[in-house]
Structures are given as structure tokens and as C-alpha cells.
Structure 1
Amino acid sequence: MVAQLALWKQHFPEFVNQNDKVLEQLMESAMLVNLPAGQQVFYPGKICESYLLMLSGSVKAQIMSADGREVLLYHVRAGDSCVLTTSCLLGDNRYPAEGFTETEVKAFAIPAPVFHRCLGYSAFFREFVFRSFSSRLADVIKRMEALSFGSVDQKLAKVLLADRSQTIHKTHHELALEMGSVREVVSRHLKRFESSGWLSMKRGTIEIIDAEALGQVIDGTYES
């Protein structure tokens, strides 16, 4: 329990600082889970049994399109809660999508009965859950809007600039997943971006050379 309390203090200090007996019981009930990379966390139709709070690693939530393509919904990273998990717990529904660990993951798993009890009796926890849910849901809506509208060039440029890093360690397939596209289309547009001098591609990495031009593509103001 001492080791877990240290993790609460490190990752969710606001929980520890509350003078809330119900919240203390929640922290005591939380199970520390460690998952390897590539493990399925949930799938369509699965019953939601726990509320997860991420400590480290990354989980991706995705759906399959009508034509069999994987469409990324969002990532869950350290400090996050999963919007689908929250939705399923609040509505007593089953998962409508699937989730996989992208890296090794460490998280607190709070059993559903404890989640519901704390939601009813702890004002702090109730506010935390709904604030996190609202914020994450807004991110998902923005992502769906980005996938639904705009050209392939605009979608690709947005994905490339999203991490605000000059070096991107992603494969063409991973970029396609984030865009809701297919690898062949992404590869074709990346080669065109490279020929324009906006980026340089090496095996497994993409170097951004002209972020300003990519930003103009997103805005629709680039003039060739």
C-alpha cells in the first residue's frame, strides 16, 4: 500500500490531498496493473469492469470502418482516463470499439462497484470524472471532425505537426491509422511532400524540414 500511495502522490496528487474517506477507500481498492505492449485491453461487446487511470505508457482506442480500415479514435496516456470506459460505466453499456496497448502500460484499475460508490458519495471524484470525460470527449470530437473534413494533404499535415517534434518516429501505416486512411495513400502523399522539400524520410522516421509550409497546407493558404 505504501508503494501504491507513492504512485498516487506522483501521478494523481490531487487525490491524496483530499480529506475524503470515500476517496481513501477508492485508492485502497485500486489494483495496480501492468500490461505488455500489443495486448488487447477491450473489444466490441466487452463488459466494462474497471475505471482505469493511466500511470505510464499508451493505449490506442480504434474502430473498424465499413471497408475494413482501422480508424484511430484517441490515445490514452499517463494522467488520462479512457473516455469509452467512462461512457460505458456511466451508461452501463458494453464497449463499442477496441483498445490495444501501444507500449508497456502501468495503470490503476478501480473496480466498477467502487467507481459507482465513489461517484455517488465524493464530490471531488464526481467532478474529476466528469471534467476528464468532458475534456477527452471534446478531443475525440475534434479528431472526428478532422478525419471527416479536409483534403488528404491537410489531414496528413495535421498528423505530422501534431507532436510538435522535428523528428517523427512513426511508420506509414501508423500515420494512416491516425488519419483514417490507408498506407498506400499516405506513402504517395509523403513522397510528394518530400519532393517539395517539406520533409525527409528515412526508415522508421520522418524529419520535418519546412513546418511553415505544412502549416499553410492545413490552413489552405499554401500557394505552389
Structure 2
Amino acid sequence: MEAELKNAYHFIFEEELIDEITRIGVLKKVPSGEKIIEIGDYVKMMPLLVEGAIKILREDKDGDELLLYFLERGDTCAMTLSCCLGETKSEIRAVTEKETKLIMVPIEKMEEWTAKYKTWRHFVFESYHTRLSEMLETIDTIAFMNMDERLMRYLQDKAKINQQEIIKVTHQQIAYDLHTSRVVISRLLKKLEGEGKIKLQRNSIEVLEL
């Protein structure tokens, strides 16, 4: 676990903090498509992402989902940090985008490390800033972009997160993430293919324009 932690966080945390995380953290390997945090849960452990990717989703009163942002190696979720520090229920759902490795840290260490380690304080504040910026970008795409532009951006983000041009995803899953209907997504995918930006395959999409 120490090697994986250092690979992901050596440029963020000092040696003493890495040693402490190694001692008390629990390494967890999660398959693709698994929920690791559910809406309404009390968060007891905070995840540090050492490999893979996670998508963070919000849910409306009708149970429909909206993708807020992705987390990658070296990240944590600012909304999870808020739940940990405030001991409140989670307002987000976290789902693995691909096979992911996490180091789970007990929430009681949050305040202690904030006082003890300068790098941890910086990491927490930077996480809040980065995630807020990403959520503002999400709001901007909903408010100012057409659905075909949102869809293309979604496909490009997904390809970059998975580090490959061909992404395995159904039209229905895209519709869930973008809070629209499968019919709309299917029509727009055909339009994007006609424009030479993507190539449709069976249960996968090749992103030609990254």
C-alpha cells in the first residue's frame, strides 16, 4: 500500500503524513460500476484515490441523476470531506468509472491532520477549490451549452479519464449521466457521427475529436 500511496500522493503530502496514512489506512479495490458512497449515508471513512476514476453524481427529487464531476488519482471528494467534518449525511453518490483502488482513512483523523500537517490543510482547501470550479463548469454547461455540445464534452471527458479513445457505455447510461432521455442521446450521437466527431460501435463509442 505504501508504494501505491507514494505514487499518487508523494508530491502532495510530506513523508510523516504518508507514513501515518500507511499505518492506519485500509487499501480497498473496487470493481467498475460499484457504488462506494450512497446518498443519505453517514460517511465513516474518507477515500483517497490511488488508482482508477470515480464519478460523482447528484440526484433530484424524482430520482434522476446528474453527473457533477470525475475524480482521478491523487484526488478526494470535497463533498465527502464536508460530510466527514460536519458528520452529516452524504448528498452525493460516488460510483467507480473503472476498476479503482482507494485508501480509506477514518474520519476522526481529519481535524487532527488539519492542525498537524500543513500539506493536509493545503490538500483539503485545494480540493474544495477544484471541486467547486468543476461544479461551476457543470452549471455553465447546463445553462449555456446545447445538448450536443454537452454530450461531446461528456464523451471527451470520459475518454480522457479512461485514457482511451474507445469508451464502453450505453446510450441509456449517457442519458442518466446527462439527465436527459435515451432517444435524445441516440439522435445526437448520430448527429455527432455524421459530423465526423465520433464513431458509433456496438455498446461503445470511439471519440475521434479529443
- TM-score tier, shorter chain, comes to 0.7 to 0.9
Alignment partner of 1:178: what SS?
helix
CA distance in 1, matches of 2:87, 2:167: 39
Q: Distance in 1 between matches of 2:12 and 2:153?
A: 35
Match for residue 116 of structure 1? 111
Unaligned runs of 5+ in 1: 213-224
Residue correspondence of structure 1 range 38-57 to structure 2 within 5 A: 38-57=33-52
Asked if 1:13 is matched to 2:10, the reply is: yes
- My pick for the range that moved more, 105-114 or 193-202, is 193-202
Q: 1:158 aligns with which of 150, 153, 162?
A: 153
User: Is the aligned partner of 1:88 residue 2:83?
Assistant: yes
Worse overlay, 111-120 or 57-66: 57-66
Within the candidate set 129, 133, 136, 2:131 is matched to 136
CA contact (8 A) 2:68 2:134 kept: no
TM-aligned CA distance change 1:197 to 1:55, over 3 Å: closer
Amino acid in the other structure paired with 2:189: L
Displacement of 1:166: 4.8
Deviation of 1:37 (Å):
3.1
Distance 1:119 1:208, change over 3 A: closer
8 A contact 2:55–2:71 mirrored in 1: yes
Structure 1 length normalisation: TM-score?
0.79
Matches of 1:150 and 1:38 in 2, distance apart? 28
After superposition, residues 1-224 of structure 1 pair within 5 angstroms as 4-14=1-11, 18=14, 20=16, 24-162=19-157, 163=159, 166-208=165-207, 211=209
Offset, 1:87: 1.9
CA distance in 2 between counterparts of 1:129 and 1:27 reads 19
**Alpha-carbon offset, residue 126 of structure 1:** 0.9
Provide the identity percentage.
26
Deviations 1:116-148 (A, max 9, x none): 211122112111121122112211221232123
Radius of gyration: which is bigger?
1
Aligned length: 206
- Give the match for residue 222 of structure 1: none
2:166 touches 2:207 (CA, 8 Å); kept in 1? Answer: yes
Say what the alpha-carbon RMSD is for the aligned residues.
2.5
Mapped partners of 2:37, 2:146: distance in 1 = 32
In the other structure, the counterpart of 1:219 is none
